[in-house]
Chains A and B, each alone.
Chain A
Amino acid sequence: MKKELFAVALLALILALSVLNTRAIGSLCGDLEALVRDSANAAENESWAESRQKLESAIALWQKHEGYTGIVLRHTDIETLTDDFFELTEHIYTRDPAATKAASALVCEHLKSIAKMESFDFGSIF
């Protein structure tokens, strides 16, 4: 009976950690998306310094969670998003509004897709 109780407790713990992880990933992706959108808006208004600063904050936040994301996300997703971030940086540095807009949209889509993959919905489970 002890073993079964331990198994039930472990299942509950895994489920609880999974829910926490889903929330944490969702929150991280949401925060990153907000920063990238701010950066894109600033770029649209030709405020390149602000755009760069917002994007650098986003990159810093992404890199700060490297240890965590390395454990819970597929490494291909991490590498793709990191590449997208640096591609966006390049466009902001070269002050190319159209490319910045497109690269920002790409980063946002990747962030949404990562959050969706970890969320408990019908599509991601099946």
Chain B
Amino acid sequence: MGVSFIRTVIVFLLLIVAIRIMGKRQLGELEPLELVTAVLISNLAAQPLQDTGTPLLYGIVPVLTLLCCQLVISGISVRHGRFRRLVSGKPSILIDNGVIVQSEMKKCRISVDELYVELRINGVTDISTVRHAILETDGTLSVLPYAKFSAVTPEEMQLDAPDNGLPVTVVSEGRVMSDNLKLLGLDEAWINAQIAQHGGIDIKHVYLMTVDAAGKVYYAEKEGKA
């Protein structure tokens, strides 16, 4: 038990160092700390489940130890920037004011092809439109285009864009979502009226019905019931 505890702490710290050395491109949208915990927990938890000869405690102690280490380290990271940079690293600027920072690309071991892939994922095909590209600590690339290539907002166009809020589901697969209905101040009679308006017959035949703050209704009937 004690040996499991110490081994877990050693492996946990070692993996954080290893993943920090491997660099951000290995992370895949998880911070180093989260990745290490996720990788270790799944393996540690599986061991006593697969081998009934291993006491459950051999899985519980390391998992609890990891969880506590993760909580403590992330708690310290939130409060101390220097410690956070030590554990998670800092964002890397790959494109600065339109110029590819080649030294940073080499440091992060990212090729031009990989940079292009990431840019395309971000909807950018012309690299000259990018002002800043920042490789975040979780391995994702944030792309900030020049202002002239940014999408125009309704505010910039001085348009009055209605904000309809979040659509709320009132009927899902033939079932009335009573809580949501109550929240909107509506009742089943209103639903039946809407169904009739959309040419439907019964709530049971409705696949999905949502309504937003402006009262706009989305209606979809179950296949083969129309």
Chain A residues with CB under 8 Å of B5's CB are 14-15, 18
Which residue of B is nearest A2, CB measured?
B75
Chain A residues with CB under 8 Å of B75's CB are 1, 3-4, 7
Classify chain B's interface size: 20 to 34
Does B191 make an interface contact (CB < 8 A)?
no
Chain B interface SS verdict (over half):
helix
Chain A interface SS verdict (over half):
helix
Classify chain A's interface size: 20 to 34
State how many angstroms separate the Cβ of B63 from the closest Cβ of chain A: 11
Selected from A14, A22, A72, A125, the residue in CB contact (under 8 A) with B64 is A14
Chain B residues with CB under 8 Å of A72's CB are 1, 55, 57
Chain B residues with CB under 8 Å of A10's CB are 64, 68
Does A11 make an interface contact (CB < 8 A)?
yes
Query: Quick one: given A72-B55, A74-B54, A74-B55, are A118 and B69 in contact (CB under 8 Å)?
Result: no
State how many angstroms separate the Cβ of B57 from the closest Cβ of chain A: 6
Contact status B2-A22, CB under 8 Å: yes
Contact status B69-A125, CB under 8 Å: no
Selected from B1, B54, B58, the residue in CB contact (under 8 A) with A17 is B1
Query: Quick one: given A71-B57, A125-B7, are A7 and B2 in contact (CB under 8 Å)?
Result: no
